[in-house]
Amino acid sequence: MTKFYPSEDAVGHVARGMIERTLPKAEWTHAAHFAACLWLLRDRPATRVVADLPRLIRAYNETTGVENTDTAGYHHTITLASIGAAAEFLGRYPEHQPLHEVVDDLMVSPLGNPGWLMDYWTRPRLFSVEARRGWMGPDIRAFPYRVG
């Protein structure tokens, strides 16, 4: 199995680096998004993650030169969908399960495919200005994860 992060410290490095805006942009991958989200979910109540992660991502983007616009940068629907999926995935494991193992398992699941949301949203709807700015439900099939 592919190891995305070899240790708890490696997962924490990604999450703290995003929060502190010190993570090199090249390290902010699909796996890193989920690793940071899982780390926050384990560290904070889910309601705080839903409230905090949008602000943290926007700030990280700005620090790394990514503008948060109607066509680039932060995307609210993708963020909320990802939090919901990550929370459900994390809930399958005992509290003491090493987080780097959870990340590895998640990344070999369908969620590890960067296009996983296209099973639920059409491209025009998901990448609309409305979906980028606020939550917009799927238009292909019901989303199986709790959002918000």
Q: Which of 67, 64, 71, 76 is nearest to 29 (CA)?
A: 64
* The predicted structure's pLDDT at residue 1: 67
Under 8 Å between Cβ of 62 and 55: no
Under 8 Å between Cβ of 35 and 5: yes
Residue ranges for the chain with pLDDT beneath 70 = 1
* The predicted structure's pLDDT at residue 20: 97
- What is the rounded distance in angstroms from the CA atom of residue 147 to the CA atom of residue 83? 7
What's the whole-model pTM score? 0.95
* The predicted structure's pLDDT at residue 148: 80
* 41-62 pLDDT, tens digit each: 998 877 799 999 999 999 999 9
* The predicted structure's pLDDT at residue 46: 74
Angle (deg, nearest 10), helices 8-20 and 99-107: 80
